[in-house]
Amino acid sequence: MLKGSCLCGGVVYHADGKVRDASHCYCTMCQKGHGAGAGSYVNVGNAGLTYERGAELVTEFASSEAGRRGFCRVCGSTLYWRSTREPDNIAIALGTLEPEYDGPVQRELYTDTKPAWLPKA
């Protein structure tokens, strides 16, 4: 089971679903949404998050027709990305996990817009 929280600690969640894979996404929406070089996510099945607290703080932004980005409305932490076309899957922001994610990151997405200022692998 994966557990995590936002920066202010107002939102605490866990996800019981099956971990599918993890990715670093360099699309420009992830860069803006995270204020960072990539959006790093782990995809989990069974639709999702159970909130131990702070469910009322989670707000969604529709960044595209089907894309929904969940964040804490107090501190702004990005918590997840989900597609309304794939209701069984949720992509949890890796940096919100506690303890730190220790699985593999299998994929890099939208490498054509990967920022040049990121450290080279």
Could you list the residues that contact Zn ion (CB under 5 A)?
A: 6, 8, 10, 25, 27, 30, 39, 72, 74-75
CB-wise, 15 or 25, nearer to Zn ion?
A: 25
For the chain, how long is the longest CA-to-CA vector? 39
Give the shortest CB-24-to-Zn ion separation in angstroms: 9
For the CB of residue 10, give the shortest distance to Zn ion in the complex, in Å.
4
Q: Locate 24 and state its tokens.
A: 């670093």
CA distance 84 to 88: 9
- Are the C-beta atoms of 38 and 119 separated by less than 8 Å? no
CA distances (Å), origin 17, targets 46, 71, 110: 5, 20, 26
Q: Closest approach of Cβ 9 to Zn ion, in Å?
A: 7
- By C-beta, is 27 or 90 nearer to Zn ion? 27
CB of 33 to Zn ion, least distance (A): 8
Residue closer to Zn ion (CB basis): 6 or 90:
6
Question: In terms of CB distance, is 8 or 19 closer to Zn ion?
Answer: 8
Are the C-beta atoms of 106 and 23 separated by less than 8 Å? Answer: yes
